Structure 1
Amino acid sequence: MKFKIDTKEKIVVFCPEESVLDANLSDQFVTTLTTLPELETRNLILDMALVGEMDTAGIQAILTVYAHMYDNHLSCAITGLNNTLTLQFKATDNDMLNIAPTMAEAVDLVMMEELERELLDGME
């Protein structure tokens, strides 16, 4: 699987360079993201601008990565989805998904969740 990665202080932007995320790539996608050392302490933004199509396995792979991030007390957001993919994700009926139309909004979403966690941890 080809991808670009941009590591910032509290965020990793992961951009698959594949036009289709399907059953052939979904396992590799999950393995790559769940073992990426940069993601041990950083939130994730999936920039899906280059992905034009996904099958059920591709969508499930993203949901798996999402769950992994939140299980590790980190946040995740998706940006760059085309209209068809946005509708596919909305059809999953998963309230956990942060779908943002722009990269700036995706950054804002994960940083707000980061701040929320810090505030809640401070209250305990």
Structure 2
Amino acid sequence: MQFKIDTKEKLVIFRLEEASLNAKMAAELEQVIAEIDELEEKNLLLDLHSVQSADEAGLKAIFTVYTRQYERERSAAVFGLPKDLSRELGDQYPEMLNIVPTESEAIDMVMMEDFERELDLDDEL
């Protein structure tokens, strides 16, 4: 599986550089992302601009990676998918709210959620 990781102050951008996300790659995607230590403290942007097709296991892997971030009390966003795959992902997993076309929109979404979490923590003090 070909990918790149770009770490920023509050973000990890994971760029999958494969045209197809099938069952075999889905398991590898989940494992590789689970092993990124920075995701314990940073938000995840999943850049899927290279992906042109995905099977059911591939879509489930995207959802699994996404929900894992929220279980860590961090945010995630998926961007760059073709419209048909974005629609299919949203239809299969309607609880995935952060599926957007561009990286800048993905950054805005996770940073807004991060800011909201900080405000909630401040209110509790």
Please classify the TM superposition score into its range, dividing by the shorter chain length: over 0.9
Task: Report the Cα distance in structure 2 between the residues aligned to 1:54 and 1:27, rounded to whole angstroms.
Answer: 13
Letter in 2 for 1:21: L
Choose 23-32 or 81-90, whichever is displaced more.
81-90
What's the TM-score once normalised by structure 1's chain length?
0.95
Are the equivalent residues in 1 in contact too, given 2:22–2:55 (CA < 8 A)?
A: yes
Letter in 1 for 2:11: I
Identical-pair percentage: 44
SS of the aligned residue for 1:45 comes to strand
Runs of 4+ in 1 over 6 A off after TM superposition: none
Give CA-to-partner distance per residue, 1:36-74, whole Å, 9 cap, x none: 112121100011000111000001001111111000000
The gaps in structure 2 that reach 5 residues or longer are: none
Aligned residues between the structures: 124
The residue correspondences of 1:33-72 to structure 2 (distance < 5 A) are: 33-72=33-72
The gaps in structure 1 that reach 5 residues or longer are: none
Give 1:93 deviation, angstroms. 4.2
Task: Report the Cα distance in structure 1 between the residues aligned to 2:108 and 2:67, rounded to whole angstroms.
Answer: 20
Task: State the match for 2:5 in structure 1.
Answer: 5
Task: Report the Cα distance in structure 2 between the residues aligned to 1:24 and 1:61, rounded to whole angstroms.
Answer: 10
What's the TM-score once normalised by structure 2's chain length?
0.95
Task: Report the Cα distance in structure 2 between the residues aligned to 1:46 and 1:82, rounded to whole angstroms.
Answer: 14
Letter in 2 for 1:19: A
Task: Report the Cα distance in structure 2 between the residues aligned to 1:14 and 1:97, rounded to whole angstroms.
Answer: 18
Task: Report the Cα distance in structure 1 between the residues aligned to 2:76 and 2:40, rounded to whole angstroms.
Answer: 13
Letter in 1 for 2:25: L
Task: Report the Cα distance in structure 2 between the residues aligned to 1:20 and 1:86, rounded to whole angstroms.
Answer: 14
